[in-house]
Every structure is written in C-alpha cells, then in structure tokens.
Structure 1
C-alpha cells in the first residue's frame, strides 16, 4: 500500500481520476450491499475517494481490491452501528430502492446480490458474515483481505463466509427467483388490477400465504406489522388504492429486477418490489418512507 509521503504529480492525479471512475461502481456496490441504503453507500464512497485522493497509491498492485477493502472496512463500522438503528426503526425495515438499468443515475454493478430479496436475506446474517460473504463470494477478494477487514484469522474468515453461504443458499432454495418474463407478465396484470380496484383480480395474483410488508419508517402512515394471507393483502391494497389513488404507476428496474413506482401529486410516494413463485406473488414489499425515495 502507499505510504502517503511520495511526491504527487499532475499525471498521477489524472491517472487516479480515471482509475477512480472505473472502480467507483465497485466501491459504491460493496457499500450498498453491506448497508442496504443509497445514502450510506454514497457517504462511504465519498469517504473512500477522500482517502484515495490523500494517499499515494502508485505502488498498489491491485487498486480495485484496495478501494473495495477500504470501502468494506468503513461499511463494516457503519454496519455495526446500523444494527442499533435497525433495532429502533419504526415498523418493518426494507432496503432503500436502488435504481438500475436505464433509470440509474450512475453506473451500478448489478447482479442477484443487489435485489431486495437478497438484501433481506443478508440482513439475517451477522455483520461479520455479511462482510465475508460480500467480499469473497460477490467481489472475489481473497480471504487474507477479508480477514484484514474483520480483524480475524484467515481460517475464521473462511468459516464466516461458508456459514453465510449456507444460510443464503438455504433461503434461496426455499424462495426461487422467477424468470424475467414471468415477472413482467405478473406485474403487468397486477398493475391493471390495482388501478381498476379489482379485488378478485388481485386475489388471483396473490399466493394464499402471501405477505405484505410496508416500510414507512415512522415518517408516514404505514402498517407496522406484516399482513398475511392473499385475500387480506388484496383487501388492504384495494383500500389503500382508493385512499391514495396514484396519478401514475410505471415500471422501473430496482436492484436488477422489475418493480413498480407509484406517483401521486407530482412525486414518487412508493416503490414496490415483489417475490414471485409459480406465477403468484408470495411477498409484496412497499417502501413509502420518503427518506428512502429521494433517489428514485
């Protein structure tokens, strides 16, 4: 690693700028996957840039790995304190929607690990397990770097990643991801039924054991407990649709998956993601906390 004492040159400044733009999506990506919020990930990304700009990195062999490691270390500190904030969060917590695809404001590394479903799975991991899994299994860093970030031995880092991998695989196996075409079909039918207030149509799209999750964060009126059962969920959706009739519902890519974005009175008031199995919605997740919608 650089020692920060070698003289800097304009040429190196230009090179760092180019390298930074190349690796910035990875820096942001590791922070978002660990923290689940765009705002925190942006703060970490800015911290990493300031660290990089103030350090001589010309002798660093793998700048991407160095930047990702710094981002992970900073995110790990935030993640540990975030655990306390999550415990005091009002109502269910959902990841902050991350726009991807053509709607993204900046390049984002997209794979299954940025989906809402995967981020919720990773919420069940301990902070060390989450860091080990993201760094090794998602970003391909060697366990020596993972151990360095966590302050543990290499064998312990391997064990943390293995434990996390088993837990993630177990949940994924029980809730397989629907193909893109199936998601598009189901969400198109759902949008039409929602706009029409078609209770029967919504019931047909919802699994009998479907769960409805709303994240208002105490900032707006929202159910503070999960709502279970397809018929019950459909009834709540119809009632909410009448009370807060949207001006427009459009499709948007969130975390690499098709989602619904609801507009009302000139602003986005909801971004909804779904879990679909065998053509039925098994989980409907609605983010209405305005603090989480400023980026969408």
Structure 2
C-alpha cells in the first residue's frame, strides 16, 4: 500500500466499515464512535507499509476492541434498569455516521444478535456481514480456524431460526402501516390500534433509569393498545415525526424536545413488536437535531 501520508484519505473510505462493525457488535453509537477513534489512533501509530488489505486490517482491529467491550458490557447489562434496547442509529440521507446499511443494523436483528455469545456474535458479524476470512477471525477470538468457523456456523443457524419471525415488509407497507398507526395514536383510537397490533404483540420501553418507563415487557395486542392510549393521554406529544433508524422507517416523538425514538417489527402486516427508547442518553445528537429542525411528512 501507499505510504503513511495517504492514511487520511484511506481512512475516510474505510471509516464506515470500522464504525459499522463496532455498532453491530455493541449496539451503541457512542461506543462505536469511541472504537472508531481508537482504531484511527492505532492506525496512525502503526507501520502499515506491509498491510495488503487495509479495510480488513481496520475492521479486524475494530472487532478486537469491540470484543473486549462486548464481554464487559454483558456485566453492565445485568445492572441496567428495565429492558435494554440498542441505541438508535440514524441511517437516512442526513445521518452523521455513515454505515454500511443492511438488515443487520435493524433493532430486531441487533436484539437477535444480543442473544448470541460474544464469540459467536463476533464471528457472525465479521464473516457473514463483512466477509472477513476465518484466519483473521480466529486471531481476534484467540481461537483456532475450525473453532472460529464453528462459532460462525452456530451463530448463523441461531440467527436464521430467529429471522423466521423478523422478515421486514416492503418499505411502502411499513410507511402505510406507520402512517395509519400515527393517526390512531394521536386520536387515541383504541380499536384502531388493536387492529394494527398482532395478537401476540409486545411493547418494550427502555428508560434506563433516566426516564419513566415500564420496567417489564407488556404483552398482548389489546393490552399493548390500552397502554399506548393511556400513555398517549398522559404524555401528550407535541408532534410525531418520521426518521430512518437502522435502515427502517421509525417514529420520533417530541415532548419538549425528543421524548422517544420508536421502532416497530412487523409480521403478517401487523405490528408484533413496538420498541420505544426513552432513555435520553440513547438519543444521538444527529437524530435530536434532525427531529428538531425538520418535520418530515410522508
């Protein structure tokens, strides 16, 4: 590769992949940004003259750092107040953090990967999402190549099994459903919300102890609709806007600023999971600024 003085240009090309692997592994924009900064500093100090694939090298370094954080994050999650949800990632045209967008950054997929062990998650993301060879993956995990291959295979089977229930609908269908949902929510239309919710729907709120939120998952379409109507009356929204989060259309609720960022999972044309991030620490500045300055109508 070229000399060190070209690293800046190369970095701008590969930074989305560095950030992308860290976000998929950690589910946190803030942590992914920290990892990207660490990787940049490591690259600036390293002798890269003999590196023949800079992208693979950078992604591998990011994965190794993320793996260390991921192992300790499991301990922190146990002390987290209430349900934990991934930090919303703005992926629309105004996103401040460009990322390689595919279904692996959706809330549903990140939660599936959350159920994997840290080694399985690393092996799956590196190989199946970023195409990193198992030799490099084995180095990250301090495992043998066959061991790394087995971890990825096991993770792939678990992900495939879970994805049977998470296949996203066409974009137009999501827009239609969320438009109707927003109208029903604003009007407090209980029957309308029940019609939009799957009988087995779940309602998950992440307040993290920083904002009022249900400490347990609420289950059942009618029960979820009742709670939504009650919450809608109690916490009157100034406005509800649309934004692209994790590659999918989502809702941003305003109440004297951003109140929540909500993603939905749709099955058979109905909302089977409604996930609401109320914790202000998980409201990225990019989303907050976008929601503050724009009113995006479908």
TM over 0.5: yes
**Superposed counterparts of 1:23-62, under 5 Å:** 23-62=14-53
For structure 1, the residue ranges without an aligned partner over 5 or more in a row are 3-10
Residue 178 of structure 1: how far off its partner (Å):
1.5
Greater shift, 59-68 or 176-185, is seen at 176-185
1:204 to 195, 200, 213: 195
In 2, Cα distance between equivalents of 1:262 and 1:103: 18
Corresponding residue for residue 290 of structure 2: none
TM-score (norm 1): 0.94
Corresponding residue for residue 17 of structure 1: 8
Q: Does residue 184 in structure 1 map to residue 175 in structure 2?
A: yes
> What SS does the corresponding residue of 1:103 show, helix, strand or coil?
coil
Residue 257 of structure 1: how far off its partner (Å):
0.5
The C-alpha deviation readout for 1:118-139, integer Å capped at 9, x for no partner, is 0000000000000000000000
> What SS does the corresponding residue of 2:119 show, helix, strand or coil?
helix
Residue 169 of structure 1: how far off its partner (Å):
0.1
For structure 2, the residue ranges without an aligned partner over 5 or more in a row are 288-298
1:264 to 252, 255, 265: 255
In 1, Cα distance between equivalents of 2:117 and 2:99: 25
Corresponding residue for residue 102 of structure 2: 111
Corresponding residue for residue 265 of structure 2: 275
In 1, Cα distance between equivalents of 2:267 and 2:149: 32
Residue 14 of structure 1: how far off its partner (Å):
3.8
1:80 to 71, 90, 109: 71
8 Å contact kept, 1:30–1:72: yes
8 Å contact kept, 1:215–1:222: yes
When the two chains are superposed, the root-mean-square deviation of aligned CA atoms in Å is 1.2
Q: Does residue 288 in structure 1 map to residue 278 in structure 2?
A: yes
Residue 294 of structure 1: how far off its partner (Å):
3.2
8 Å contact kept, 1:199–1:238: yes
In 1, Cα distance between equivalents of 2:25 and 2:97: 19
Residue 107 of structure 1: how far off its partner (Å):
1.8
8 Å contact kept, 1:269–1:293: no
The aligned length equals 286
Residue 13 of structure 1: how far off its partner (Å):
4.6
Corresponding residue for residue 62 of structure 2: 71
8 Å contact kept, 1:103–1:252: no
The C-alpha deviation readout for 1:185-226, integer Å capped at 9, x for no partner, is 100000011111111111110111110000000111110100
8 Å contact kept, 1:209–1:229: yes
Corresponding residue for residue 159 of structure 1: 150
8 Å contact kept, 1:103–1:253: no
The C-alpha deviation readout for 1:126-182, integer Å capped at 9, x for no partner, is 000000000000000000000000000000000000000000000001332222111
In 2, Cα distance between equivalents of 1:163 and 1:94: 24
> What SS does the corresponding residue of 1:272 show, helix, strand or coil?
strand
8 Å contact kept, 1:27–1:45: yes
